[in-house]
Structure 1
Amino acid sequence: MNDAATPGTIATGKPKLRTAAGGYAMLALDQRESLRAMFGQRADGSWVDDDELRRFKRQATEVLAPHASAVLLDRPYAIDGHRPDWVSDAYGLIVAADALDQQTGGPVRNTTFDEQVTVEFLHRVRADAIKFLVIWRPGTGKEERADVVARTVEVARDAGVASLVEAIVATDDGSPWPSEAERHQAIFAAAEEIAPYRPDLYKAQVPGYVPGDLSRVADQARTITEIVGTDWVVLSNGIAREDFADAVRESVRGGAKGFLAGRAVWADLVGSADTPSMLAQISIPRLQQLTGIVDAAQA
């Protein structure tokens, strides 16, 4: 299955992913080994257990998701088997359909489709969308990416939910990009490769971003808008937290419709003594600020 998919009827769940103003203000809580690493190692060198990840995801969902248009959760640590009673129907539910090849504290090296994310599973948990992360490399993996992106769109269509494809760019050997310009061009190339498969929503790294310098973001966002031909949003991974609000503002100036982000909202509060209280005091205002930026752009 390596031909570009023909999109079906727009999934009925797609409007539920939006704010009342029509943008996307979506909360990401599908991190797995990267979340474990955020807790840090214990004195004996061990990492927190799976129950600690589940506890944080539940707490963050309960506190923050009511202030978002949708929440993204993974199957292994959040919604395995059924829709938890702490996931409300008041906002959209996006299910991560990617199985991650990742060591604790390291980057995601590769992704495959989670075989347990089936049409029946998506119906059982009352999902509104599925999301798949692609690690895009310039010289390798194109055939594999074609198959899995087409499958993501097909499964979503068969389930009657929205399809969301995310691309994070990496060099072939995992080394740093030789220059920011080459990384920015890779972001364009990833979008060009995925666009023909027509996912309902595309999720991109902030285009044109350099730490502390957002002067190129709006222009490069316009290029992404032209390439993808559908709604698209930005992610916060790789963006300094203090830059993210302005990065969203510049991205929506260039045509992005919002964000699907986690780290910029809550990452510095992982492991807090009173996590729910800290999320309420610090993360809710961050999320509200970001939502305000998105909604203002829809007027």
Structure 2
Amino acid sequence: MSVTMSPGRYRGLRNVSLPAADTFGIVAFDQRGSYRKMMGAQASYAQLCQVKSEIISALSQSASAVLTDPIYGMDAAMRMSPRAGLLLALEKSGYSGDSSYRKTELIPSWTAQTICQVGADAVKFMVYYHPESGVLAEELEALIKQVVARCHACDLPVFLEPMSYSLDAAVPKASAEFAAARPAIVIETARRLSRIGADVLKLEAPHDIAHNQDEAAWQASCEQVSAASAVPWVLLSAGVDFAQFERQLRVACAAGASGFLAGRAIWKEAATMSSAARANFMAEVAARRLDALLEIAARDARPWSDFYTLPQFDATWYEAYALC
């Protein structure tokens, strides 16, 4: 059953989606800590901003929207194509606590109201989440509700990104043991977190492609994610290479995903190139990659408008409507 959405959130989703399809073809470049490591200690703040701006400017010509961050991405957000929508990350990069007990923190002085004021169409909020983490899971769910309420008070839609991790430090996420448990974790995460206010889920592929190449198994698990989620979901690339992500996206969209929110699978080689080589790579390689993904999202993904309906207005609707 579809839900009537407030006008700002409805327009926000429209602004970040492919207009003919109501599906998402979003490029992500909101990395901060991992981006600094990728670029090396010699890279200055200005260089980090410039590289991000060059990549985002190129991809914003075709993407339905771009996700970036307030640390290195605001110049890019101001310079990118105005035809693309804008999502901004709310959370601080990384996590506090140890690797098996990960807490999410917010960027100081960076709020939903600020994101609204700078003109973004939507908020992205990432948490490390495991449905079996007990009290920590409850704390994170409370934080998510709080963040969503603040974003919705500004009439901004929220893309919630729960990233799975291992609760056992002796069982790395990349291990076969965790890979076997991952589908159930992703499905249960979708079931729980899709019911606490976020408008869209940004999810990992249920199966780890390094341990399972069976597309029939991928399809079955993605269908279970779609059945479990009460809101639209998009697939993230999680650092896999382009050919792998293209396969994953084709399966996910056929199984009910509403598109993609992907980054490194599209642009990762370009970050460390010279400016001239980067421009050539973006035009010759990254643009073709993005076009291929956009074609899948436009053709096969489930429209987010299956979940949400246009608000109805009367002559005095605005009297009861207020922003933050």
Q: TM-score range by the shorter chain?
A: 0.7 to 0.9
1:181 equivalent in alignment to 2:161: no
Identity of aligned residues (%): 24
Q: Is the 8 A contact 2:256 2:301 kept in 1?
A: no
Aligned: 1:139 with 2:142: no
Secondary structure of 1:98's counterpart equals coil
Is contact 2:33–2:94 with CA below 8 Å preserved after alignment?
Answer: no
Question: What pairs with 1:189-228 in structure 2 (closer than 5 Å)?
Answer: 189-211=188-210, 212-228=213-229
User: What is the SS of the residue equivalent to 1:270?
Assistant: helix
Q: Please state how far the C-alpha of 1:284 moved relative to its aligned partner.
A: 0.6
**Which deviates further from its counterpart, 132-141 or 249-258?**
132-141
Secondary structure in 1 aligned to 2:167? coil
Q: Matched residues in 2 for 1:271 and 1:13: separation?
A: 33
Once the 2 structures are TM-superposed, how far is the Cα of residue 147 of structure 1 from its aligned partner?
2.3
Deviation at 1:289, TM superposition (A): 0.3
Q: State how far apart, in whole Å, the 2-side matches of 1:107 and 1:214 are.
A: 30
Contact 1:37 1:47 in 2 (8 A): no
Deviation at 1:65, TM superposition (A): 1.2
Deviates more, 1:118-127 or 1:93-102: 118-127
CA distance in 2, matches of 1:296, 1:75: 33
1:241 Cα offset (Å): 2.9
Report if the CA contact (8 A) 2:259-2:301 is conserved.
no
Q: Distance in 2 between matches of 1:110 and 1:48?
A: 28
Q: Provide the alpha-carbon RMSD of the alignment.
A: 2.6
Equivalences for 1:153-172 in 2 at 5 Å?
Answer: 153-172=148-167
Query: Which residue of structure 2 aligns with residue 3 of structure 1?
Result: none
CA contact (8 A) 1:102 1:108 kept: no
Tell me the SS of whatever aligns to 2:119. Answer: coil
Evaluate the alpha carbon distance shift between residue 238 and residue 277 of structure 1 in structure 2; reply closer, same or farther with a 3 A threshold.
closer
8 Å CA contact 2:257, 2:301 repeated in 1: no
For residue 100 of structure 1, give the secondary structure of its aligned residue in structure 2.
Answer: coil
List gaps (5 residues or longer) in structure 1.
1-5
Say which is worse superposed, 284-293 or 108-117, in terms of deviation.
108-117
Structure 2 residue 292 is the aligned partner of structure 1 residue 283:
no
Distance 2:172 2:110 in 1: 33
Amino acid corresponding to residue 123 of structure 2 in structure 1: I
Cα contact 1:206–1:234 (8 A) shared by 2: yes
Corresponding residue for residue 125 of structure 1: 118
Does residue 1:259 correspond to 2:260, yes or no? yes
Checking the alignment, whether the CA contact within 8 Å between 1:201 and 1:232 is kept in structure 2 is yes
Q: Is the 8 A contact 1:209 1:216 kept in 2?
A: no
**CA-to-aligned-CA distance 1:110-169 (integer Å, 9 cap, x gap):** 421234332431232111100111101332521321122112211221111111100110
Distance 2:59 2:101 in 1: 25
In structure 2, relative to structure 1, the CA distance for the partners of 1:87 and 1:269 (3 Å cut) is closer
Deviations 1:57-82 (A, max 9, x none): 111111011210010011111228xx
Larger-gyration structure (1/2): 2
- In structure 2, the CA distance between the partners of 1:130 and 1:109, relative to structure 1 (3 Å rule), is same
Partner of 2:55: 60
Secondary structure in 1 matching 2:115: helix
**Does structure 2 retain, via aligned residues, the 8 Å contact 1:8–1:157?**
no
After superposition, the C-alpha distances for 1:19-49 in whole angstroms (9 at most, x for unaligned) are 022210000010111112223x4xxxx3523
Structure-2 change in CA distance of 1:108 and 1:62 (3 Å): farther
Question: Runs of 5+ in structure 2 lacking a partner?
Answer: 303-324
2:93 alignment partner, SS class: strand
Q: Is the 8 A contact 1:100 1:108 kept in 2?
A: no
Deviations 1:169-194 (A, max 9, x none): 00124441424221221112222221
Moved more, 83-92 or 240-249: 83-92
Question: Aligned residues, how many?
Answer: 285
SS of structure 2 residue aligned to 1:199: coil
